[in-house]
Structure 1
Amino acid sequence: MSIFTEKTQLAAHRQLFPGLANKAYFNYGGQGPMPRASLDAIVQAYDYIQKSGPFSNGMNAWIVHESNLTREAIASELGAPVQSIALTEDVTVGCNIALWGIDWQSGDRLLLTDCEHPGIVAAAQQIGRRFDVEVDICPLLATLNEGNPASAIASHLHPNTRLVVLSHILWNTGHVLPLAEIVELCRQHNGSKPLLTLVDAAQSVGLLPLNLTELGVDFYAFTGHKWWCGPEGIGGLYIRPEISESLTPTFVGWRSIVNDDEGKLVGWKADARRYEVATSAYPLYAGLRSAIATHQQLGTASERYQQILEKSKYLWQRLSELPNIKCLRTSPPEAGLVSFELSEQKKHSALVNFLEQQGFMLRTILNPNCVRACVHYFTLESEIEQLLKAIVDFGV
């Protein structure tokens, strides 16, 4: 019997997450609840820092060791070389490192999709204003249930398009884009300069099984606080090793550089560490590693993803049976995000507020106007049934 269908094992695993004790949680796409091991690791690390430093030669060596362990844990999960991982605070910081590190020229073009997060849209628009870059928008929302996203992107490329910015999983609809196909068409694009890809991986890391080396993407920005259920404030950026030298660091600090024995600057770090800046909340690193290790206790990334698919399909099917509810997808979800509309869309916020009062955590999305529920591999079928009953009780 699978460990995922063995109720006692799954129940024991859920006990590792204190945040699941008093609520039915459906908001992993916003932030995941941390396992107890992560909370304990963070406290223990802060205690160690105070007892051993907090600033000393020994502490500096500990920080280097913690950073290396964290890059190794991340790289192993993402199928990437350790030297390709820069530690950041979150997805937005990672995207900004890539966006501002390109040597933009007047007349260049940047392609966004119409399903990107407002933070990334704002950063791209600022690039446009600062460097006289044209920001184009590709309408991917229309391809949710029909059409090929890769073809849509291809039709919006120009000879001077230098960067395509898109999400691996769209945060509003849960659509999983054919990233390998999109990366390949960008690689084959016959433009005036190489066409790069920057991926917002907020919803894919910790959800999809990943091998970034095989995907061939240029930049992959992610966070630890969503599907990995780690602490907020720790994320990263994957930079394809072959293009690392072409990206210029924008924010620079002591972690970015190499000094000689006399303390004089001699150059950049030789790998993705050149995009790290200065002092961070290092105890969070242990918290993230502990979260990753907690998930690994209950199967491989592929096994966990299969469970997410089964749970999201079940939620999608059951929602589709309710009157006055329309799921955005007309086929089973390919990720853990299930977005749906009420016949009276003005009631979306009222529904989410009502559900929260009953102990069910969901969220609204503004574009498209909908409600989003997220399921993880350890979401229970009974929780889904309780959620459906609460929605009916609301009076949809």
Structure 2
Amino acid sequence: MSVEQARARFPVLARLAYLNAGTFGPLSRATFEAMTRRLILDTERGRGGAAYFEELSRLRERVRSGLAEVLGVEPANVALTGSTTAGCNIVLGGLGLSSGDEVVTTDAEHFGLLGPLHASGAVVRVARTLDRPAADVTAAILAEVTSRTRLLALSHVAWKSGHLFPIRELKEATGLPVLVDGAQSVGAIPVEAAPFDFYTVSGQKWLCGPDSTGGLYVADPAALAVAAPSYFSQNGYKPDGRYEPSPGSLRFEPGWVPPSSLAGLAAALEEAPAWRFQRALELTRHCRERLAERFDVATEPDQATLVSFSVDADPTETALRLYERGVVLRDVPGTSWLRVSCGYWTSEEDIERLIEALA
């Protein structure tokens, strides 16, 4: 498949320079058609009977296997969720942290992780990273680790700056459990989740799936409590009221993901080209170089697929003005930055359209 053929799968690219996969990835025609087919089937055949539920079970396993392949792990260790935040809630709810425990995170995290951390009951220690060079981040995070630290919780790719965080080095240096927020990494860059204890997935961002889809990798499902058994984890309940968790990570599945959404995510996972990561990184490098000719770029070279840069005008108003000119990106709250997301579907022409719109 060529770049042109890959781009042709996304109808929005015929109209816009779509540079916002860090919020929502573009939806392909195949994803739309898979969702539509599922809805038509459910409408015409109804939603019941043994064959229907067997079909949905196969669909769930298809998505689970697709996510496992992207993460480089076994399907049995992947739970289907509705978001990265849902995954964070499952982990923080199941660890049983208390006021005497500490968790270490950074000042670059999304509230989807920070919210569950602060609700966990543990003391949240925050390492300053946003105003430091990427090379100094490891030391800054390790400086917050104490004898009471029970968990490191941070992004693989920081959603504001676009910087890669040293998750493997932190795991090796501390030996502590690590919860990785994979919202800006899965589907954007190669991921190996197996060395970590918990790794969350967002389906609607770089995987280009529908809203309210995602996953959670758990290295040792038996070591994490099921804090709030719900629809699928209720399969572990016995007639006498005893609860025996479902095998593997199935026990953590928090509820019913709409079949149409699962069908769309399956299609998105299966159509992504093998060369996607290399292409995305090449375009990101090109984008950064072009922006650096005129702007102060906050994202250091050779990071992931996000590029944040400063503008003199109000960033929110600038993002709105760019949209009117056919360029979709976002501002970064609390900063003077705009953020560009470069995927394998991004073209050099998209980058030039951005540069011209900023003039």
Normalising TM by the smaller chain, what interval?
A: over 0.9
Q: Secondary structure at the match of 1:65?
A: helix
Q: Which residue of 2 aligns with 1:176?
A: 164
| Alignment partner of 1:125 out of 87, 101, 118 | 118
| Alignment partner of 2:128 out of 139, 156, 165 | 139
Q: Which residue of 2 aligns with 1:285?
A: 262
How far 1:321 sits from its partner (Å)?
1.0
Q: Is the 8 A contact 1:164 1:196 kept in 2?
A: yes
| Alignment partner of 2:15 out of 19, 22, 26 | 22
Q: Which residue of 2 aligns with 1:384?
A: 351
Does the C-alpha gap of structure 1 residues 207 and 108 become closer, same or farther in structure 2, counting only changes over 3 Å?
A: same
More deviation, 255-264/69-78: 255-264
Does the C-alpha gap of structure 1 residues 369 and 65 become closer, same or farther in structure 2, counting only changes over 3 Å?
A: same
| Alignment partner of 1:310 out of 282, 296, 299 | 282
How far 1:279 sits from its partner (Å)?
2.7
How far 1:52 sits from its partner (Å)?
3.3
Q: Is the 8 A contact 1:75 1:85 kept in 2?
A: yes
| Alignment partner of 1:226 out of 205, 224, 230 | 205
Q: Distance in 2 between matches of 1:106 and 1:261?
A: 34
Q: Distance in 1 between matches of 2:172 and 2:165?
A: 13
Q: Which residue of 2 aligns with 1:205?
A: 186
Instruction: Say yes or no: does 1:255 pair with 2:232.
Output: yes
Does the C-alpha gap of structure 1 residues 76 and 92 become closer, same or farther in structure 2, counting only changes over 3 Å?
A: same
Q: Secondary structure at the match of 1:278?
A: coil
Q: Distance in 2 between matches of 1:319 and 1:262?
A: 63
Gap runs ≥5 in structure 2: none
Q: Which residue of 1 aligns with 2:337?
A: 370
1:219-269 CA-to-partner distances (Å, cap 9, x unmatched) read 10111111111111110100013xx21211122124114468969655110
Q: Secondary structure at the match of 2:314?
A: helix
Aligned residues: 359
Q: Distance in 1 between matches of 2:5 and 2:218?
A: 38
Amino acid at match of 2:316: S
Q: Is the 8 A contact 1:25 1:360 kept in 2?
A: yes
Amino acid at match of 2:141: I
Q: Is the 8 A contact 1:257 1:267 kept in 2?
A: no
Q: Which residue of 2 aligns with 1:157?
A: 145
How far 1:51 sits from its partner (Å)?
3.2
Equivalent residues in 2 for 1:342-381, closer than 5 Å: 342=311, 344=312, 346-381=313-348
Q: Which residue of 1 aligns with 2:306?
A: 337
Instruction: Say yes or no: does 1:295 pair with 2:272.
Output: yes
Gap runs ≥5 in structure 1: 4-8, 188-194
Equivalent residues in 2 for 1:76-87, closer than 5 Å: 76-87=69-80
Q: Distance in 2 between matches of 1:232 and 1:16?
A: 19
Q: Secondary structure at the match of 1:274?
A: helix
Amino acid at match of 1:294: E
Q: Distance in 2 between matches of 1:353 and 1:266?
A: 51
Q: Distance in 1 between matches of 2:169 and 2:227?
A: 30
Q: Secondary structure at the match of 2:289?
A: helix
Instruction: Say yes or no: does 1:245 pair with 2:232.
Output: no
Q: Distance in 2 between matches of 1:112 and 1:98?
A: 15
Q: Distance in 1 between matches of 2:277 and 2:158?
A: 17
Q: Which residue of 2 aligns with 1:192?
A: none
Q: Secondary structure at the match of 1:221?
A: strand
Q: Secondary structure at the match of 1:143?
A: coil
Larger radius of gyration: 1
Q: Secondary structure at the match of 1:340?
A: strand
Does the C-alpha gap of structure 1 residues 294 and 144 become closer, same or farther in structure 2, counting only changes over 3 Å?
A: farther
Q: TM-score, normalised by structure 1?
A: 0.86
The CA RMSD measured in Å over matched residues stands at 1.8
Q: Which residue of 2 aligns with 1:273?
A: 250
Does the C-alpha gap of structure 1 residues 263 and 25 become closer, same or farther in structure 2, counting only changes over 3 Å?
A: farther
Amino acid at match of 1:155: A
Amino acid at match of 1:36: R
